[in-house]
Amino acid sequence: MTQLSEKDFSYIKEELQDGRFSLVNMRTFLASTFVFSFIIVGIAFFWATQSPYWERLIHLFIIEGIFFLLHLLIILLCFTKSNMIQMILSFSTIFFIYKMILDPFIFLFLYFKGYGVYGLFAPITFISLILGAVTHIYLVLKEFHHVKAQKKHRKGKKRNHLSYYFIGCLFFIVSITGYVIKNNLLGSFEALFMFFIFTALYFVVLIGAVDYVLGAYCLIRFPSFRVHPPESSRQTKKRKRIKRNRKK
């Protein structure tokens, strides 16, 4: 990573200033994830209260409540335009992205338990979760080692590796289809439908979250990317010179 410079991440700097990673847009995104998670966890909570495992699950929903409170406080209190607030919003966005895409699986596992298909769907669901996390980490590391915004257009780079992504997705789809047919899961259409919807959302959001990770990295690595960047040596000398002239 030492070979990467600010110029390599110039497109991230633009996003931090006026794009997806600006303070306003990150607060809006956090509000959206709050609403989504609140609805999904609310449905899961209703299912959990009807479950015979409620006494075990109550601790999970207490933790969820703490996270919701923290999430709401960040949205309501982080309005100041400062470097610290920018850092808080950036890392909070990443954390709650991960939480948002995992929340549906709480409901999904409760649904599997309720309809007696947990043993059939749980293995492929856990495999999908692990595969999604590994894919996300791979894409983040890939970006860190290959992003050169000034020398190679990002779209061109993605086209060069499109075949690998296509082959990976095709392999995953074929594996899922084979598992479904082998275990005769087509009879549980509703559970199968929700599994595909939540898994697709999981993968899509994790792929989109790569740039948010890069944005947080740039805020730490390059102070000039922050809302109040430090003065350059030239600016410092100019300010001191003006100050001396005023004293004269």
- Residues 171-201 pLDDT 10s: 555 455 555 545 555 556 778 888 888 898 8
Please tell me the predicted confidence (pLDDT) of residue 149: 45
pLDDT of the residue at 161: 43
Burial 157-195 (b: 16+ CB within 10 A, else e): beeeeeeeeeeeeeebeeebeeebeebebeebeebbebb
The low-confidence residues of the chain, meaning pLDDT below 70, are 1-4, 146-188, 231-248
Query: What is the Rg, in whole angstroms, of the alpha carbon atoms belonging to the chain?
Result: 23
Provide the pLDDT for residue 1: 45
Q: Hey, what are 97's tokens?
A: 């992205």
Q: How many CB atoms lie within 10 A of CB 197?
A: 12
CB-based contacts of 202, cutoff 8 Å, min separation 6: 101, 104, 105, 128, 129, 132
pLDDT, residue 106, reads: 92
pLDDT of 160 reads 42
Lookup result for tokens 């996270």? 67
Task: Determine the Cα–Cα distance for residues 186 and 22; give it in Å rounded to an integer.
Answer: 45
Instruction: Tell me the residue length of the chain.
Output: 248
Mean residue pLDDT of the chain comes to 79
Tokens for 114? 């309720």
